[in-house]
Amino acid sequence: MTRSSTGRPQQGLKGNLFLLSSRITYHNPALSDIAARSRITEDFVKTRRGNFKASVHVEVSDRHSGELCAVLEGAYVIKADTR
């Protein structure tokens, strides 16, 4: 089993990646460099149409103050290769 750089098993999915939906909530302005922290909230699961869907949550903080600047949430779909 192959693992990604994060140590998670790779699923070997092939196809085109599409952004299904996204939302950004702004909390504070970033007045210096920023740091982002992401996590997968729903790993790729098979849909009824045979594609794969995943959800991601990203928090962006000001590196100097540590204040939360923004939260991004997105749902992605891999349209499966049918060849």
pLDDT digits 0-9 by tens, 4-35: 555 555 567 788 899 999 999 999 999 999 99
pLDDT digits 0-9 by tens, 28-72: 999 999 999 999 999 889 989 889 999 999 999 999 999 999 999
Q: How far apart are CA 78 and CA 60, in angstroms?
A: 25
Domains with residue ranges and CATH for the chain:
15-80 (3.10.129.10)
Tokens of 41: 């909230």
Name the pTM for this structure: 0.74
In the numeric block, the tokens 């970033």 are attached to 30
List, as one string, the DSSP characters of 30-70: --S-EEEEEEEEEEEEE-TTS-EEEEEEEEEEETTT--EEE
